[in-house]
A and B are shown apart, each in its own frame.
Chain A
Amino acid sequence: MASASAGCILVVDDSALNRKLLLRALEREGHAVEQAADGREAMERLAHRSFDVILLDLVMPEMDGYQTLAAIKADDALRHLPVIIISGVDELDSVVRCIEMGATDYLPKPFNAAILRARLNASLAGKRLRDLEIEYLEQVSRVTDAAVALEGDAFDPAALAGVADRDDALGQLARTFSTMATEVRAREDRLRQQVQELRIEIDESRQAQKVAEITGSDYFRDLRGRAEELRRLRDD
C-alpha cells in the first residue's frame, strides 16, 4: 500500500537474502526499491536515477560500504542523500565511523520491520525538508536574478512564474515584484511614446517656423513679385 511518505529507496547489500527481505518489507510500505550487490553497482544506479534514501551494507566485494559512503559524500549532487547503514549488532564501531563520515542512521541486522519503518521515515522526512530548502534557495535566487535583469532592462515576468505561485512570503514578494516591474515597464513605454510624439511636434513646429521665416523675407517677397510679373507677361 503506497503511503504519503513513500520514497525511492536504493538497497545496497551483497547478500541476496538480505536484499530480498528488505525489498519485500520496503515494497509493502509502498516504496519504490532498486537494489545493488556492491558499491560500484550502487554508484552506477545513483548516476542514472535520483533516490530519497540509501540502505547501505558495509562488508561487500568490489567497493565496500565505507568506500561507497565516501564516494557519495564527495559528490556534490549526492552528498545530501540520507544513508542508513545496515550493520550487525557487533559492528557498532563501524557504525560510529560511518556516522562520523556522514551517514544518517543505522539499521541493525537482522532487521526489525518497525525499526526499519521508523528510521526510514525519519530519513525521508529529513530528505524532503532538505529538498524544500534547496527549492526555496533556488527560487530566492530566481527573484534576485530577476532584479538584476530588471536593472539591465531584460526582465521577463515569465521568469518568476513558478515562484509567484507559492503561497508564502517569497511568493508574495515575487508577485509584487513582477506586478511592479510590469507597471514600471508600461510607464516607461508610455513615456517613450510621449517623448516621440513631442519630438514630432517640435520638428513640425520648427519646420513651420522656417517656412514663415522664408515667406516673410524681402528676398521671398522680391521673388514673388518677379513671379507675378512673369505670369502677367505670359498672359499678355
Chain B
Amino acid sequence: MTGGDRDFLVELIDTFVTDSRAILAAMEQAAAAGTHAELQRPAHTLKGNAMSFGATRLAELSRQLEADARSGSVTDGPRRVREIIDEFAIVETALDAERGAG
C-alpha cells in the first residue's frame, strides 16, 4: 500500500485513526437518536477505510450496518455501533504497534 515508505504509512495510520474516531462519534450519535438512515454514509466510509488496512472484521461489521441502514432494517443501532467501536479499538491497538515498530 505504501511501497515501503514508513513515513507515509504512519501518515496513513494517523489519518485512518483520526477519521475513524470522527466517523464513530457520528455513528454513536445517530444510533442514540434513532436516526438509523444517517448510519449509512459513515458506515460506508469506515468500511472502505478498514478494507484499505486489511481490517476485515471491522469492514464486514461496517458493511452489514451500511446495508441494514440502507434497507431501513436497523433495530439495534446502539449495540451494533458499540460492536464496531470495540472492533476499531482492536484495530487501533494493532496499528499503534505497527506505528511504534518503526
Contacts and interface: CB of A to CB of B under 8 A. Distances in A.
A-B complex is real: yes
Interface of A: 14-18, 20-21, 24, 28, 59-61, 88, 90, 109-110
Contact of B45 (A15, A20, A90, A110): A15
A16 B15 contact: yes
Contact of B52 (A24, A28, A60, A109): A109
B37 to A, nearest CB: 13
A17 B19 contact: yes
A110 B15 contact: no
Given A90-B63, A109-B51, A17 B12 contact: yes
Given A17-B19, A21-B12, 4 more contacts: A15-B19, A17-B12, A28-B3, A60-B41
A18 B16 CA distance: 9
A24 B8 contact: yes
Nearest to B43: A59
8 contacts: A15-B19, A16-B19, A20-B11, A20-B12, A24-B2, A24-B8, A59-B40, A88-B47
Nearest to B52: A110
Nearest to A89: B51
Interface centre among B12, B48, B51, B63 (most CB of A within 10 A): B48
A88 B63 CA distance: 10
B64 to A, nearest CB: 11
Nearest to B2: A24
The 3 closest A-B pairs by CB, nearest first: A110-B52, A59-B44, A17-B49
A110 B55 CA distance: 12
Contacts of B3: 28
B99 to A, nearest CB: 15
Contacts of A88: 47-48, 51, 63
Max count, chain B CB within 10 A of own CB: residue among A28, A61, A90, A110? A110
Contacts of B1: 21, 110
A17 B52 contact: yes
B19 A110 contact: no
Interface string B24-52: 00000000000000001100110111011
B51 A110 contact: yes
Contacts of B48: 15, 18, 88, 109-110
Nearest to B47: A88
B16 A17 contact: yes
Contacts of B44: 59
A107 B65 CA distance: 23
A59 B67 CA distance: 13
B45 A59 contact: yes
Residue of A17, A18, A21, A59 contacting most chain B CB atoms (<10 Å): A17
A88 B45 CA distance: 10
B58 to A, nearest CB: 13
